[in-house]
Structure 1
Amino acid sequence: MSIKTEIVKPKNLRIFEADEFERLLQGLQVAACMLTESHQVVDEASVLKRLRALTINGASDGNCCSCCGVGPFESRAQQTAHYKQHWHTHNLKRKLFGKAPLTLGQYNSRQDDSSVTGSDSETEDSATNPESDLFAAATRHCKAFFTNKKKQVFCIYRCILHHKKEELSTDGEGIAWVERCQRLTIPGFQRWAILMVSGGHFAGAIFSGGIAVVHKTFHSYVTRRGQGQAQISRDQHGNAPRSAGASLRRYNQAQFLEHIQEIISRWAEDLKGCSLVLYRAVGSTNQAALFGKNSPLSRDDLRVRALPFPTRKPTYKEVKRVHETVASIEVYDTMELFQKALIASTSKTTTKNNSETTVDRTKKTPKSSNKVIDRAKSRERVPRELPTQIMSSEDEGPCFIDSETPVGWIKTLSEQCTNGVISNSRKDLLHHSFGDSDSSQNEEKTELKKDHVKKKKKKKPDDNKQNKKISANVKKMWKMILDKELTSLETILEEFESNELEAACNTQDPTDGNTALHKAAIAAKPDMVTQLLVAGGDPCVRNHLLQTPYVAAHAHSRPAFRFFQASHPDKYNYNESQIPGPLTQEQFEQEKEKKAQQKRAKRQREKEKQAEKNKVNKFLQMTDHEKVKADVPKCFLCGTNLPKQPFQYNDYKFCTITCLQNHRNLRPLHKSA
């Protein structure tokens, strides 16, 4: 059974948060999992003893495997065959994690056991030597681990502490690690540059602490859709495509590289003051944009370091996310929580690899057979009988008969030809060739369809009869609503009984589907609308155009619906009625006043515009000599306001160079010259 590891969520801290970071560094030490025992002075005998242990059976020609303990081999082919075995690769992995190698018998017994026993054995091995597993996981991790006086464990990315070429000692007390970590508290060492290039996108920024001092993004069309980097590699190998799109992409690629190098050269002075230059550029073309001939950056510079984690498309948002991720510190309260999190992260990768290998084995076992399949050859087609071709006297062309062809279908085809009914589909021929049972079923279906059509035809006049049965009082009420002089329905509503009143108000007109409430709302009679709503007129009923009374209403009658909703909030389902919301009289007056103010302000703006137009027209009617004397800051040609530095020749001033040119062209030749 696989052991479930608890997910430990650490605290997050940023390096540029100075106060908290300095508190965290008090009593700083390198974590014990990253330190080994210091080198001891050994004599010559012990060294020779270790060298003899590395060789097997005294073989000095290298014809043996020191990892698995096998050899000497009889031939070179036997040696290479051993190196290709899964047993050898498994022992190499165990050696990386500081475990003892397995013999061939132990490896085979491990394979014969189930996946449960295999996982148990691995957990037993890890349980026997947890310190070596922890050391292997810590030294191969992309982060360095430290502790402080509070016994907290925190993780910092190695890329901001040292370059890959720099080897910081992990023996003894780790003084070099502590110095590099304490150096980050100096403000000058928190000035970092992050540059990202990928797929025609460039994004870069220089950060001072947590603030972006300079940033720039750029995008160009350098990859054709659905082809990726294939065309660039073809250009490099001499098989360059000659299409218009390829030439455009090639031109944009060159411009893209020049633009990025220009940006980096412009940032040369700022990049010199950076303690770190972190970059993400996969591929030779993307790296050529950053480390070209004229670029101030160099790969040999120890400040220039690659990002240790994958990133998304280069954008300014992504650059800020990368900066926060690199500057983040994970803090664990105790060493136990840290060990659980570290072992959990390493166990996830190993379980994934083991699961993939077990799935591959389970897939391969059922498919294994003695038959050898040659993948280079195409698969053989299953031989099928060709249809026999015959000529019929009744048909003009050849007829093909195979296993699916019904018996006697040529005869039915000839009968159809004689009757004048010809069908090209085989389905029709199959239907004709079936027995009486199928024909009887088809006849029953056609009869049912006819009966269904007859019933529909019968229903239509019944529906019309029901629609036509409208009482005289309802028609009278509709007539009173349409009358322009009447504004109340009290007389007609008193004639209805209490049971009939609601039904009469919601009766729909068969012509357009409008109820009495629709008609009153359309006729712009708000008093009638409130009377009908009180009497039981439903505001959710829709007409033939699927309009509720509020939607179909006139603008003057719409506030009546909102007033009624404010006074009777629970009487109807107002969500379906499409009424926007309740409205009181005070709110209505405020809205009315607000609209009136907006109208007054609009009129005032229009007056000011008209006055300005009159001034401009008066100025344009003046001669050039009068315009110079008037000294008004307006263009001598179009009359618009002049900028701070106007365009002018002689004493004439203009807003744009086009106005100046047009003015000179309009003047007489001797004056314009």
Structure 2
Amino acid sequence: MMNIKSEVVKPNTVRVYDLDEYEKLLKGIRVAACMITESHQIVDEESVLKRLNKLTIDGATDGNCCSCCGVGPFASRAQQTAHYKHHWHTHNLKRKLFGKAALTLGQFSSRNEDSSVSGSDSETEGSSSNPASELFAAATRHCKAFFSNHKGKVFCIYRCILHHKKEELSTDGGDTWVERCQRLSIAGYQRWAILMVSGGHFAGAIFSGGVAVVHKTHHSYVTRRGQGQAQVNRDQHGNAPRSAGASMRRYNQAQFLQHVQDIVASWIDDLKGCYLVLYRAVGSLNQSALFGKNSPLTREDPRVRALPFPTRKPTYKEVKRVHETVASVEVYDSMELFQRALIASTSKTAVKTGTDSNIDRNKKTQKSPSKPIDRAKSRERPPRELPTQIVSSEDDGPCFIDSETPAGWIKTLSEQSSNGVITNSRKDLLNDCAVDNSSDSDQENVSARKERNVKLKKKKKVEEKQPKKAPLKISANIKKLWKIASGKDVISLETIREEFAAEELRAACNAPDPADGNTALHKAAIADKPHMVTEILTAGGDPCLRNHALQTPYAAAPHPDTRVAFRLFQAQFPDKYNYSKSQIPGPVTPEQLEQEREKKAQQKKAKRQREKEKQVEKNKLNKFLHMTDVQKVRADLMMCFLCGSKLPRPPFEYSNFTFCSIKCLQNHRNLRPLHNSA
């Protein structure tokens, strides 16, 4: 077998629009041998029956066996389902696709690398693998087609520029592939259009050879930074946000779709002359921009084909890079170098997927504490401690044990693996096979659970028997202070000041009521007592304390006079409290209050004067409208004879009558015969 760990082979690159170099490659062109379907051998009936019996294990055709792994028959349906879900069966299916033989359970368990399809497997079964079948499987599944010429060079061309994915070309070495390659050397077949849409970005261009004839880009703000998806897609998950930014992104999304469709519609004549229309639009939202109702493009068009490789953000620079990539032809000097590069690329992708998954798994366990939480993205699963790995004496492969693993499970697993039965979980083993293996450890686990439940019940009973905390006792003086603050009678705080010491009065003013959390300052503010509010603030009542509704005394005051008392006290004593937490808007002096009152009085006076002037104008208009046409002409006022509004310069006239508009003139002319007859 060829050595997979060979050096990386760098091929030469030739562009399709470089006609001189490309036509040199086409001399003596033919389909590469790795793409030609192998001829099937004709076998007799006896050999076919032998193969069927071998696949179904001694002729068992009831479907209760696995023909891929060679195990069975299964004792129950649950065991068969568990086997099909096991990694051993999945790995053997992948090996079968590459033409390799299946591994036994011991070989699969003793492997060091789980994800490598080749690698260590090549050492254990060098005689069973077939390099020709590996090349055929890799070449037929590749996004490129492979050809050779008379000099023995092998070159690769993307399939998307040769045929549509729904068009199946024969792989028997016919002339169809050769004719498609030769067609690209004609000038008319090198006119391609490339369109890309993603995340509110659009970029498109039409190339004639290596030159961009028409190109256009457009960008719109439709995706919130860090959210990971467009606003329209975010709204489909429910609980659509109602912020200004979300509304802007929804509007921009509709405008973006319309703008892209207008651009594509304006290129309708240029697109008709294109041999290929290559696009990159992932998702139904992006595809609707290219294949909408008014778009000249349809998915059924054989010229419209998707790009076979991932791309970056749509820009004009990225469109040119994509065009060069699609038009590039990789040329290998010999078939041996090509085969080495092809097998190395397929093996590296297989190994890379396995290593990447392990790296991602390790990255998930390391959480950055400073990373902000984005509620729009899906949550990552919390890391869990991995079970310890040990090697059992009954089996060669590794087994995983944690605190929940029942005793005797390793022995049961080894016995069932020798019989060809693999279960996917400990529940299946306990249900199917561990009925007879019930040991003392299981009984100990049950007894431990019972003891734990008894302890929890005892703990609950002790908590219920404990006496509840008695409510705090409030002194009679504090209750009297609350009654004075919230009562209807206007009583000064001096009447009870002698009953308190200096510190006791301050503590009494800040004592909260257990019912609603209101202090004496809250109660005075709610009762609309500005004088009492000033006295309590002077005695030490803190305006920053909040009640159970999280309201400060100023926020709880419903009357404007009481709120003014807080602002006056703040202007008089600016350093006594931390007013930034009290929600008081700011201090005010009596002079400022007087100025505000005068200003409001002047505003009311000016409003009354405007209303009087409006009433005079209204009376004048009514008097003019009640006049006859003769009286209106004699009055000689610059007013419309029909509606009484001011006349333009020059006015509309007929028979010495003036009007503000043609409509008034026509209506007056229609109504005048009625007035004359009257």
TM-score (norm 2): 0.51
The change in CA–CA distance for 1:366 and 1:142 in structure 2 (over 3 A counts) is same
Shift of 1:285: 0.9
The change in CA–CA distance for 1:142 and 1:244 in structure 2 (over 3 A counts) is same
The change in CA–CA distance for 1:88 and 1:259 in structure 2 (over 3 A counts) is same
Aligned to 2:20: 19
Specify which of 403, 419, 433 is matched with residue 371 of structure 1.
403
Aligned to 1:103: 104
Instruction: Answer yes or no: is 1:339 the counterpart of 2:371.
Output: no
Amino acid corresponding to residue 145 of structure 2 in structure 1: A
Alignment of 1:315-330 (within 5 A): 315-330=315-330
Q: Which deviates the most, 199-208 or 64-73?
A: 64-73
Alignment of 1:181-580 (within 5 A): 181-229=181-229, 231-237=231-237, 239-355=239-355, 364=386, 366=388, 370-372=402-404
Q: Which runs of 5+ in 1 are unaligned?
A: 374-667
Amino acid corresponding to residue 89 of structure 2 in structure 1: H
Amino acid corresponding to residue 11 of structure 1 in structure 2: N
Alpha-carbon distance in 2 for matches of 1:94, 1:255: 50
Alpha-carbon distance in 1 for matches of 2:74, 2:193: 55
* SS of residue in 2 equivalent to 1:194: strand
Q: Does the aligned pair in 1 maintain the 2:53–2:60 contact within 8 Å?
A: no
Aligned to 1:131: 132
RCO higher in structure (CA 8 A, sep ≥6)? 2
The change in CA–CA distance for 1:164 and 1:126 in structure 2 (over 3 A counts) is farther
Amino acid corresponding to residue 254 of structure 1 in structure 2: A
Instruction: Answer yes or no: is 1:65 the counterpart of 2:97.
Output: no
Alpha-carbon distance in 2 for matches of 1:115, 1:190: 42
Q: Does the aligned pair in 2 maintain the 1:110–1:118 contact within 8 Å?
A: no
Aligned to 1:165: 166
Aligned to 2:85: 84
Greater helix content: 1
Shift of 1:99: 0.7
Aligned to 1:56: 57
Shift of 1:167: 1.5
The change in CA–CA distance for 1:46 and 1:190 in structure 2 (over 3 A counts) is farther
Aligned to 2:152: 151
Alpha-carbon distance in 1 for matches of 2:309, 2:360: 29
Shift of 1:125: 3.8
Amino acid corresponding to residue 152 of structure 1 in structure 2: K
Shift of 1:268: 1.7
The change in CA–CA distance for 1:26 and 1:117 in structure 2 (over 3 A counts) is closer
The change in CA–CA distance for 1:298 and 1:366 in structure 2 (over 3 A counts) is same
Q: Does the aligned pair in 1 maintain the 2:220–2:256 contact within 8 Å?
A: yes
* SS of residue in 2 equivalent to 1:214: strand
Alpha-carbon distance in 2 for matches of 1:55, 1:340: 37
Q: Does the aligned pair in 2 maintain the 1:35–1:174 contact within 8 Å?
A: no
Shift of 1:93: 1.0
Shift of 1:354: 4.8
Shift of 1:350: 2.6
Amino acid corresponding to residue 64 of structure 2 in structure 1: N
Alpha-carbon distance in 1 for matches of 2:359, 2:257: 46
What root-mean-square deviation, in Å, do the aligned CA atoms of Structure 1 and Structure 2 show? 3.3
The change in CA–CA distance for 1:229 and 1:116 in structure 2 (over 3 A counts) is closer
Alpha-carbon distance in 1 for matches of 2:252, 2:167: 38
* SS of residue in 2 equivalent to 1:270: helix
Alpha-carbon distance in 2 for matches of 1:76, 1:116: 31
Shift of 1:59: 3.7
> What percent of counterpart residues are identical?
73
Aligned to 2:6: 5
The change in CA–CA distance for 1:275 and 1:42 in structure 2 (over 3 A counts) is farther
Q: Which deviates the most, 245-254 or 74-83?
A: 74-83
Amino acid corresponding to residue 185 of structure 1 in structure 2: S
The change in CA–CA distance for 1:226 and 1:358 in structure 2 (over 3 A counts) is closer
Shift of 1:116: 12
Q: Which runs of 5+ in 2 are unaligned?
A: 363-384, 390-399, 406-648, 651-678
Alignment of 1:607-618 (within 5 A): none
Alpha-carbon distance in 1 for matches of 2:361, 2:234: 39
Shift of 1:120: 4.1
The change in CA–CA distance for 1:346 and 1:301 in structure 2 (over 3 A counts) is same
Amino acid corresponding to residue 261 of structure 1 in structure 2: Q
Shift of 1:52: 4.8
Q: Does the aligned pair in 2 maintain the 1:231–1:241 contact within 8 Å?
A: no
Alpha-carbon distance in 2 for matches of 1:345, 1:329: 17
* SS of residue in 1 equivalent to 2:213: strand
Alpha-carbon distance in 2 for matches of 1:115, 1:282: 29
Shift of 1:74: 2.6
Alpha-carbon distance in 2 for matches of 1:126, 1:198: 47
The change in CA–CA distance for 1:280 and 1:130 in structure 2 (over 3 A counts) is same
Q: Does the aligned pair in 1 maintain the 2:116–2:351 contact within 8 Å?
A: no
Q: Does the aligned pair in 1 maintain the 2:4–2:343 contact within 8 Å?
A: no
Alpha-carbon distance in 1 for matches of 2:310, 2:342: 20
Shift of 1:327: 0.2
Alpha-carbon distance in 2 for matches of 1:184, 1:126: 42
Shift of 1:298: 1.5
**Deviation digits for residues 508-553 of structure 1, max 9, x if unmatched?**
xxxxxxxxxxxxxxxxxxxxxxxxxxxxxxxxxxxxxxxxxxxxxx
Aligned to 1:430: none
The change in CA–CA distance for 1:350 and 1:121 in structure 2 (over 3 A counts) is same
Aligned to 2:510: none
Q: Does the aligned pair in 1 maintain the 2:32–2:146 contact within 8 Å?
A: yes
**Deviation digits for residues 325-378 of structure 1, max 9, x if unmatched?**
0000011111111112112212212333454678899994658653359xxxxx
Aligned to 1:634: none
Amino acid corresponding to residue 220 of structure 1 in structure 2: S
The change in CA–CA distance for 1:329 and 1:33 in structure 2 (over 3 A counts) is same
* SS of residue in 1 equivalent to 2:137: helix
Alpha-carbon distance in 2 for matches of 1:348, 1:230: 34
The change in CA–CA distance for 1:105 and 1:335 in structure 2 (over 3 A counts) is same
Alpha-carbon distance in 1 for matches of 2:168, 2:401: 53
TM-score (norm 1): 0.51
Q: Does the aligned pair in 1 maintain the 2:13–2:328 contact within 8 Å?
A: yes
Q: Does the aligned pair in 2 maintain the 1:192–1:206 contact within 8 Å?
A: yes
Alpha-carbon distance in 2 for matches of 1:352, 1:40: 37
* SS of residue in 2 equivalent to 1:202: strand
Aligned residues: 374
Amino acid corresponding to residue 85 of structure 1 in structure 2: H
Alpha-carbon distance in 2 for matches of 1:302, 1:126: 44
Alpha-carbon distance in 2 for matches of 1:192, 1:222: 29
Aligned to 1:141: 142
Shift of 1:255: 0.4
Q: Which deviates the most, 340-349 or 277-286?
A: 340-349
Alpha-carbon distance in 2 for matches of 1:126, 1:177: 34
